[in-house]
Amino acid sequence: MPEAKQFGRPRKTPAGGQTVTFYLPKDVVSWIKEKGGASWIRQQAYKAMEQSGEKMNEQKK
């Protein structure tokens, strides 16, 4: 029997990423969308990680 097709967004991607949900006020959401949306958030997180000296893709111990 073939496997059932998964609907919606994958919980985790092959690269190990996952979808997360945050509550944000409408004015903040529109501001983030103007900046570039999720890709802008990801870039800002990487910059903050570099500044704090944290390694990207660090495994939890």
pLDDT tens digits for range 30-59 = 999 999 999 999 999 999 999 988 765 554
Q: Which residues of 8-35 are buried (b: 16+ CB within 10 A; e: fewer)?
A: eeeeeeeeeeeeeeeeeeeeeeeeeeee
Judge whether residue 11 has pLDDT over 50. Answer: yes
Question: What is the model's pLDDT at position 23?
Answer: 94
Contact in structure between 18 and 12 (CB atoms under 8 Å): yes
Contact in structure between 49 and 56 (CB atoms under 8 Å): yes
Give the predicted TM-score (pTM) of the model: 0.61
Judge whether residue 61 has pLDDT over 50. Answer: no
Question: What is the model's pLDDT at position 48?
Answer: 94
